[in-house]
Amino acid sequence: MDFDLDSEHVQIKDTVRKFCEKEVIPFAEEWEKNEFFPRETIRKMGELGFFASPFPEQYGGTELGFLANIIVAEELGRASLGLACCLNMQSGTCPMTLLLNGNEEQKEKFLPGIISGELLGCFAVTEPNAGTDVAGIETKAIRDGDNYILNGSKMWITHSSVFDVGICFAKTDPTQRHKGLSAFIIEKGMEGMTGMAEKDKLGVRSSDTGQIVFVDVKVPKENLIGEEGQGFKIAESALTYGRANIAGRSLGIGQAAVDAALKYANEREQFGQKIGYFQMNKQIIADMVAEIDASRLLVYRAAWLQDQKRPSANESTIAKFYASEAAVRAVIGAAKIHGAYTYSSEYPVARLYRDVMLMTAGEGTSNIQRLIIANNALGWK
């Protein structure tokens, strides 16, 4: 077993880290404070190929694989979780749905723009009354000649008010649960579709996240992905990659917490010595370092399996569950090290504290991940 990154992966990590140090970290606090969506930064990321690694060259990808994508997620999450949220829409659930399930015309029309960052993607699953229960979606898409008429609403959708192309899940047979769900491509400018960003969020304020409302929206039949009734299977196929992606972002924010705690513990002095010398602080730091290191092994394993084209759904679930929970514990540990300064914008830990809980909710809550992991261990479908 070889745990070293190869030269390509080392170069990717170095490139993304240098980009973040110049283009992201100096502005992250200001973006969050002002709820500023950094569109031009995302476009630069696309130009540098940050979204391209999982995709074939014919659609603008680099074919460097999923581990490369996770490394990008980790470095972006370390710099700004608000910005990092875009990664899933540009290289995870949205374009992966098209790659895995779309027809050739759909792939050629939309994938190059999403991968290059010229088009912003979205993945519209969650609703006000249906989050983890995907089969409980209430948005309807009723066939009417050459169109489907879409009515309903989505909530907590990344890029809700700025997206150019998205994947929307709706019931083509409202009498059914899983079997009644279908997937559609939605496009900016469709009449009757309104996207609204949620303002004054607790954290990840530089991410455009909010609601999409559909009122008699005409979606051409050509925008149906796969066949009617395949929506649940299509959603699950993409969420495996989304969970690995959010695991990478969790790893990044967890590492940011470790970095902040180590820096502060080496600077702050009390009772005539640096606070890193105190045994209880050493215990906190040791737990943080060990858990983030363990997270990295789990996350990288999930991505490696995807690169080997081996089954990875359970491993991605384990990675997402552990890395997101470990990130929460690491941020809490950093807060304990910083004490009252946790509440000061002078240090990044305040932003990390506000942001990190999203990682335990996105792409399936921790409790749902526990159920999946346990059912798989028990041999239950």
DSSP state letters, 147-168: EEEEEEEEEEEETTTT-SEEEE
Residues in contact with 52: Cβ distance below 8 Å, sequence separation at least 6, in sequence order: 60, 61, 62, 64, 91, 115, 116
Q: In sequence order, which ranges of the chain are alpha helices (DSSP H)?
A: 7-23, 25-34, 39-47, 66-79, 81-91, 93-101, 104-116, 231-265, 279-307, 313-338, 349-355, 366-378
Query: 165, 130 in Cβ contact below 8 A?
Result: no
Q: How far apart are CA 218 and CA 192, in angstroms?
A: 8
Crossing angle of helices 81-91 and 25-34, in 10° steps, is 90
**Phi and psi based region of residue 2 (left: phi greater than 0; alpha: psi -120 to 50; beta: remaining):** beta
Q: Which amino acid is at 90?
A: Q
Asked about 75 being catalytic, the answer comes back as no
What's phi and psi for 48, nearest 5 deg? Answer: -85, 0
Secondary structure class of 239 (helix, strand, coil) = helix
Q: How far apart are CA 144 and CA 329, in angstroms?
A: 51
* Nearest one of 87, 117, 209, 206 to 160, comparing CA atoms: 209
**Residue of 74, 75, 291, 363 with catalytic role:** 363
Cross-strand pairs, 154: 212
Q: Which amino acid is at 32?
A: E
Q: How far apart are CA 113 and CA 191, in angstroms?
A: 22
Q: Is 216 exposed, middle or buried (0-12, 13-18, 19+ CB in 10 A)?
A: exposed
Q: How far apart are CA 67 and CA 47, in angstroms?
A: 19
Query: 95, 122 in Cβ contact below 8 A?
Result: no
Which residues are annotated as catalytic? 363
